[in-house]
Amino acid sequence: MGNVAENSVVLSEDLSPVVKLFSPIQKSSRDGKDYYELLVTEQHLNKAGTFHGGFYCTVFDIAMGSTATDSIDTIKKIATVNLNVSLIRAAFLGDTLSIRVSLLRKTERLIYLSAEMFSKESLLANATSTIYYVANH
């Protein structure tokens, strides 16, 4: 896999039960960004044989939710309140998807993020998200 460093970790299903649909998802951090990678398998395909459009949204939500969660020391709960996804190109069986997530801004209750998804250096999709959170005090 391309952008995830050797010191990567595999996302736990504790983050969300839906993670198991894409396991393993590897994650690493560098240069102030988080990087995620996963492999497109048969269960991710639509009738046309390409990565299902809804899964783009789900993978972005998992990745940006993970980055948001990691940015807060003591998180109590988290909820995506806005997710915008633009699909640019299709992904296919066996493709490795690389997602780069940037945390844009964090306030007392909201986190703003952006992300891009690549395969073989081609941009497949991009996304922005606003996440509401409550921290333990």
Q: How far is CA 79 from CA 66, 132, 133, in A?
A: 11, 5, 6
94 touches 43 (CB < 8 A): no
- 94-110: pLDDT as tens digits: 999 999 999 999 999 99
Least confident range of 19-23, 29-33, 55-59, 127-131? 19-23
The domain locations on the chain are: 9-135
Q: In this structure, what are the phi and psi dihedrals at residue 12, rounded to the nearest 5 degrees?
A: -85, 150
Phi-psi region of 58 (alpha: psi -120 to 50; beta: other; left: phi over 0): alpha
Would you state the pLDDT for residue 1? 42
118 touches 101 (CB < 8 A): no
Sign for the CA dihedral angle at 121, 57, 24, 111 comes to positive
Confidence of residue 32 (pLDDT cuts 50, 70, 90): confident
Q: Is the pLDDT of residue 129 over 90?
A: yes
- 56-74: pLDDT as tens digits: 999 999 999 999 998 888 7
Assigned CATH for 9-135: 3.10.129.10
Q: Is the pLDDT of residue 111 over 50?
A: yes
